[in-house]
Amino acid sequence: MNRTWILPGILAAALAAGCNADPTQGYTTASQFRTDVQTVAVPIFRREAGEFRRNIEIRLTEAIIKHIEAQTPYKVVDRSRADTLLEGTLRWARIRPLSFDPRTGMAREVQVRLCVDFIWKDLREPGKVFAERKNFRVAADYIPQCPFSEDFFLGSEDAINKLGQRIVEQLAQPW
């Protein structure tokens, strides 16, 4: 009898025994996303009236679509063909200096903070909501001084991608 296969066989049996289709009953290899949804429509997020940063809502919508396509089994399609609708509003985008250069008084490090409201609803069953969040926030830092010389556009790109990622994480089923 070949003993080199005993240990891998025991490990495989132990791993298979620890996995379960129901995540509340242990580990699972099942998808964390809904199986009854195949398509999502994502219209351009709206901007609150007091937010004047140009194209930030378009950049956010593009980031969300890219994360949905890359990390979920869903396909982003036009609203007329979609099972579900993910829509939202960018409430505000703010910058806040984190540290200052004592010689010049200029900001050495700046934080970009974004806040959105969003809702993910079923278009097949009116009134059915899968996820809804209010005041959903994310922050990212950038350095405006030399040698980096990052501006708001570059600094906000990290915050927008983080927000897109976190919104897509909310599309997963609760555990």
pLDDT, tens digit, 9 for 90 and up, residues 42-74: 999 999 988 888 899 999 999 999 999 999 999
Does residue 175 belong to any structural domain of this protein?
no
What is this structure's pTM? Answer: 0.80
Q: Do 13 and 39 sit in the same domain of this protein?
A: no
Domains identified in the chain, total number: 2
Does residue 54 belong to any structural domain of this protein?
yes
Does residue 174 belong to any structural domain of this protein?
no
Q: Do 47 and 118 sit in the same domain of this protein?
A: yes
Measured between its terminal Cα atoms, the distance across the chain in Å is 44
Q: Do 6 and 46 sit in the same domain of this protein?
A: no
The domain containing residue 2 runs over which residues? 1-30
127-160: pLDDT as tens digits: 999 999 999 999 999 888 787 788 888 889 999 9
Q: Do 13 and 76 sit in the same domain of this protein?
A: no
